[in-house]
A = this chain, B = another copy of it.
C-alpha cells in the first residue's frame, strides 16, 4: 500500500507525489512539480537546501506570497531578487508589512509590475505604492500591524478567525463585523494564508529548524506557519543537531525549503535606513 492510500481522505494541503516531489498549484489549478528532494523517498532525510532559482520557480503567476520583513530588515532580499528574473512571478498578491522601500526589496518587484495586490500595514514609506495605486495598477488592503500579524498567526494555527479591539470605531472597521464581548467592542478578523512564504532567518539546520537575528525576526516566524510552501533564506546552514532545541524559534515541520542568502543588509546598506518612517 502506498501513500496514495492515505492521500484521498486526508486533509493534506501539501501533496507529495509518488517520487517524493512536492506539488504546488499553478495559476490554473494544475499541479506543477516542485524541485526534487532526493532522498526523501529513499528513506534518508535529505537536506531541505535548494538553490535560489529552484525556490524562485515555486512562485507562479497569481501566487499569494507572504514576504517577511519590516521595511528591508528581515526581508528575503535574495529570493526577491530572483523573482525579478522569473517569468512566472507576476500578478502576485503580497502579504507583507510594507512593499519594501522605493526601488528596493519588494519595492523593486512593484516597479517591475509584478505585484497586483498588496496586503500590509504601512505603505506610506514607499511613495511608489501610492502612485501605482492611484494609477489603478495596484490594489491595496490596509490592516493594522497587530491585526496583520495575528491574522497570519491564526492562518498558521488553523483558527477560523479572532476578535480584536484594534480598529473599532475607525474607517478600517467600515462594513466589518463588530461584536460586543463582555461589554467591549471587537472587530472580527479572518485568518490570512498564502500559497508560499518567503522568509528570512539567521541559521537553519538541514532539517529546517530556524533561528533569527535581532529585529530581523519580525513577521518571519509567523509567516513560516501560514503558507502551503515555506522557503527560508538564511545566513548560515548548519548540520541537524547543531542548534540547541531550546533556542529553535521555528521548528522544522513548518519549513519546506532552505536557501542560502546572497544579499544581506550590510552596514553599507545604511542609506536604506534613511527611509525612516513608521512600521
Say whether, besides A246-B212, A246-B247, A247-B246, A163 and B164 are in contact (CB < 8 Å).
no
CA distance A160 to B211 in the complex (A): 31
Closest to A247 in B: B247
CB-based contact B158/A160 at 8 Å: no
Q: Does A167 contact B (CB under 8 A)?
A: no
CB-based contact B158/A165 at 8 Å: yes
CA distance A163 to B158 in the complex (A): 9
Q: How many residues on A have C-beta within 8 angstroms of the other chain's C-beta atoms?
A: 24
CB-based contact B160/A181 at 8 Å: yes
CA distance A117 to B181 in the complex (A): 23
Contacting A159 at CB < 8 Å: which of B157, B160, B164, B214?
A: B164
CB-based contact A160/B164 at 8 Å: yes
Residues in B neighbouring A214, C-beta threshold 8 A: 245-246
Say whether, besides A246-B211, A246-B212, A163 and B165 are in contact (CB < 8 Å).
no
Residues in B neighbouring A162, C-beta threshold 8 A: 154, 159-163
Q: Does A252 contact B (CB under 8 A)?
A: no
Residues in B neighbouring A179, C-beta threshold 8 A: 160
Closest to A158 in B: B165
Q: Which residues from 139 to 184 on chain A have a C-beta closer than 8 Å to any C-beta of chain B?
A: 150, 154, 157-165, 179, 181-182, 184
CB A184 to nearest CB in B, in angstroms, measures 7
Residues in B neighbouring A212, C-beta threshold 8 A: 246
Binary contact track A106-125/B, C-beta < 8 Å → 1, others 0: 00000000000000000000
Q: Does A257 contact B (CB under 8 A)?
A: no
CB A165 to nearest CB in B, in angstroms, measures 7
Q: Which residues from 258 to 272 on chain A have a C-beta closer than 8 Å to any C-beta of chain B?
A: none
Q: Does A190 contact B (CB under 8 A)?
A: yes
The contact sample of 9 A-B pairs, CB cut-off 8 A, is A150-B157, A159-B162, A160-B186, A161-B186, A162-B162, A181-B190, A211-B246, A246-B247, A247-B247
Q: Give the B-binding residues of A (Cβ under 8 A).
A: 150, 154, 157-165, 179, 181-182, 184, 186, 190, 211-214, 245-247
For the complex of A and B, the 8 pairs showing the least CB-CB separation, nearest first, are A160-B163, A160-B186, A160-B181, A162-B162, A161-B163, A159-B162, A247-B247, A159-B164
